[in-house]
């Protein structure tokens, strides 16, 4: 498994493998450290196959996510992604006039409804 693949997987998992410290000096987590962190987070990457599987799982998780805040215009559809993963969850629509609309996503909301 190449260091580049480990760095890519770490970034996809939300890790920051490089940063600049308080003294302005660039820092970087070594690949072995990233591998251990990724393993602890449930994303094994000891082999090419494990890394591919972990990358695919991360991509699937990302595609299923709906952002916590969605802005929209009246009369325009809003893409919500895979609603089946959201069935039963509550939502709140905050209106420009200060009003609110609260509700719950129906269990039969379907897939990819806008």
State pLDDT tens for residues 19-77: 999 999 999 999 999 999 999 999 999 998 999 999 999 988 887 777 777 788 888 87
Q: Are residues 55 and 76 in the same domain?
A: no
Q: How many CB atoms neighbour CB 17 within 10 A?
A: 19
Residues 49, 93 within the same domain: no
Q: Identify whether residues 77 and 60 lie together within a single domain.
A: no
Q: Are residues 60 and 7 in the same domain?
A: yes
Whether residues 32 and 46 fall in one domain: yes
50 and 15 co-located in one domain: yes
Domain span at residue 98?
Answer: 66-114
User: What is the rounded CA–CA span in Å between residue 67 and residue 103?
Assistant: 17
Number of Cβ atoms within 10 Å of the Cβ of 24:
6
pTM score, two decimals?
Answer: 0.60
Does residue 71 share a domain with residue 60?
A: no
Q: Which residues of 84-100 are buried (b: 16+ CB within 10 A; e: fewer)?
A: eebeeeeeeeeeeeeee
């Amino acid at each position: 498994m190449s260091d580049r693949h480990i760095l890519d997987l770490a970034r996809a998992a939300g890790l920051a493998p490089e940063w600049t410290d308080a003294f302005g000096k660039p820092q970087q987590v070594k690949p072995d450290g990233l591998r251990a962190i990724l393993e602890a987070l449930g994303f094994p990457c000891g082999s090419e196959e494990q890394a591919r599987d972990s990358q695919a799982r991360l991509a699937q998780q990302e595609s299923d996510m709906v952002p916590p805040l969605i802005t929209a215009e009246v009369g325009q559809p809003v893409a919500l992604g895979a609603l089946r993963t959201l069935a039963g969850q509550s939502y709140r629509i905050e209106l420009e006039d200060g009003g609110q609309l609260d509700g719950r996503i129906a269990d039969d909301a379907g897939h990819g409804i806008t």
